[in-house]
Amino acid sequence: MKRTLLLYILSWFLLCNVLSSKGLFANGLYTEIEVPDGGCVAGYVKCTGNAGAPSIDLYAGWELPRASQVISEKLTVNKVNNGVKNVIVSISDIEKGKKGVVPQIHPVIDQQRSVFIPRVTAILAGTTVDLLNGDEEMHNVHTTSMRNQPFNFGMAYKQRISKKFDFPETVKLSCDIHKEYAWIVVFGNPYFDVTDRNGYFEICDIPEGTYKFRVWHEELGKREKEVMVRAKKIENIEFVYE
Amino acid sequence: MKPKGLFYKFGFLSAAVFSCAVMSVNMRPTTASAIEIPTEVTEEGKNVYKKYCSPCHGEEGGGDGPLSRSMIPKPRDFTRGAYKFRSTPSGSLPTDEDIFRTISYGVPNSTMIPWDILTEEQRASVIPVLKSFSEAFEYREPDAPVEVGLPLRPTERTILEGKKIYEEKLECWKCHGVEGRGDGPSAAEQEDDFGFPIKPFDFTTGKFKGGNSPTDVYLRFTTGLNGTPMPSFAKELSDEERWYLTHYVMSLVQPEECEE
């Protein structure tokens, strides 16, 4: 009798501990609230050092004539301001914020000249992505993921496949025939952006507070920075890969 | 008179339904439906796994048992929930029957032997253990198996049609080679999801990994092989075209070479 009582008390303590730990909330739960006067964060991601060098990746498409081969955008650095393209910026520890809107028009990932365009796509969980094949030859689309159901389909010319991604996860999308790949990053909240060809990004309607901003690039890796967001103000930040 | 007529009608209906049910039960493959597959991990299952499976597949199902180092293809890593031989669509988890089938028949051209030295109950008891290694089974459910249409009879015409699909429509030769020897231009650099090199299948050997019947071959390119570069062509082909391709692929087998 005494022992079971002790066990109960112990398990109760454990439960309390688990529930109150911050890690659990930071990972999973996101509550939607009205954000009438949110702040904005804009900035750019740059790469110093060997910057300005053209894309280092190989040529895609083994049987194309040399002139029509395309350079894939593994690492694209702008020559003028060293801005890095295709970096994903997100807020890693946001718990409540604006309502996420799943786009009615599906984002498209096309395969042209054996390269995925765009190379990096960031979407909100629940978004459907359309995969196309614009080449007059066979490709395949092969994803590796754990929570979202992976798939691997052969794609003939002009084939269109719609796939819904329900869980936050980083999904690698590859064509095994031509050894090309792209990334689909699924987020649980709407606070994310992908940098453009100048390395710029913008995230808006953030409730006041201090947040951890995270940038991710497939080659350069992760960086994290704490930023204070004030109401109705635009905060300028800069991430530097060295 | 009326109630009687009604009774007869319903009587006939229920009889028809009953006979249909009996027929569908009879028509199911006899391999796994005959025995019961436990839903929970049992002591017996753990013991069988530890004794017979873990030397290659590893204690934790990571495909990294002590014997795995000298093997190519590598033993399956169960932690991803990626099973090659299924009756379910691309990317889906396998049904219990699919896993049972692979354990019972083994995988030719690999070190996975047919485990018919174990009793059916022992083989079935391992299945929940395998599933417990992957969190994928917590997140997802296996999809319904794909429908296999009525088989066509192989004729010269179906084989010719299949050849067209192989060479022009699906461009299978890019990996499997023009003669089906697994030596296409994209063959050399293929990798599976776990980063190990993998070879496109050589059809001339005739030892199809997922089984030698036409239905098995049909299912392989309809469902794809999860965790490998082999995609599913379910969206590209009609049912008839799939049988054409099946016949062509099976016509590539060269019996003389097999005997050697």
| Contact with chain B for residue A147, Cβ under 8 A | yes
What residue has token string 């498209």?
A: A108
Residue A241: the pLDDT is 85
Residue A2: the pLDDT is 57
Q: What phi and psi values does residue A33 have, to the nearest 5 degrees?
A: -135, 170
Top-confidence residue, A78 or B209:
B209
Residue B139: the pLDDT is 84
Residue B160: the pLDDT is 92
| Contact with chain B for residue A228, Cβ under 8 A | no
**CA B225, B226, B231: angle at the middle one, nearest 5?**
55
Residue A81: the pLDDT is 81
Residue A121: the pLDDT is 92
Q: Using one digit for the tens of pLDDT, what is the confidence trace for A95-140?
A: 888 888 899 999 999 988 888 888 899 999 999 999 999 888 888 8
Residues of A whose CB is below 8 A from B171: 137-138
- What was the ipTM of the complex prediction? 0.76
Give me the mean pLDDT over the A79-91 stretch.
Answer: 87
Q: Using alpha carbons only, how large is chain B's radius of gyration in Å? A: 21
| Contact call for B226 and A167, based on CB within 8 A | no
| Local confidence band at A7 (pLDDT 50, 70, 90 cut-offs) | low
Give me the mean pLDDT over the A35-47 stretch.
Answer: 88
| Contact call for A143 and B232, based on CB within 8 A | no
Nearest to B86 by CA among B145, B156, B26, B23: B145
Residues of A whose CB is below 8 A from B230: 152
Q: Using alpha carbons only, how large is chain A's radius of gyration in Å? A: 21
Look at residue A91 and tell me whether its pLDDT is greater than 60. yes
Tell me the sheet residues that pair with A122. A185
Look at residue A24 and tell me whether its pLDDT is greater than 80. no
* Euclidean distance between CA atoms B69 and B63, whole angstroms: 10
Domain boundaries, chain A: 32-241
Pair A88, A120: CB distance under 8 Å: yes
Q: Pick out chain B residues at pLDDT < 50.
A: 1-3, 6-7, 13, 17, 20-30, 32
Residue A171: the pLDDT is 92
The CATH number of domain A32-241 is 2.60.40.420: yes
Residue B25: the pLDDT is 45
Q: Is A143 left (phi over 0), alpha (psi -120 to 50) or beta?
A: beta
Q: From A176, which residue of chain B is nearest by alpha-carbon distance?
A: B229
Look at residue A50 and tell me whether its pLDDT is greater than 70. no
Q: Using one digit for the tens of pLDDT, what is the confidence trace for A148-201?
A: 888 999 888 888 999 999 989 999 998 888 888 899 999 999 999 999 988 899
Residues of B whose CB is below 8 A from A138: 170-171, 174
Strands A192-194 and A127-132: unpaired
Residue A19: the pLDDT is 43
Residue A52: the pLDDT is 47
pTM score > 0.90 for this model?
A: no
Q: Is B86 left (phi over 0), alpha (psi -120 to 50) or beta?
A: beta
Residue B126: the pLDDT is 92
Residue B57: the pLDDT is 92
Q: Using one digit for the tens of pLDDT, what is the confidence trace for B177-214?
A: 998 888 888 888 888 888 888 889 998 888 888 888 88
| Contact call for B232 and A153, based on CB within 8 A | yes
Q: What phi and psi values does residue B105 have, to the nearest 5 degrees?
A: -100, -15
* Euclidean distance between CA atoms B183 and B199, whole angstroms: 9
Give me the mean pLDDT over the A139-143 stretch.
Answer: 90
Residue B169: the pLDDT is 87
| Contact with chain B for residue A200, Cβ under 8 A | no
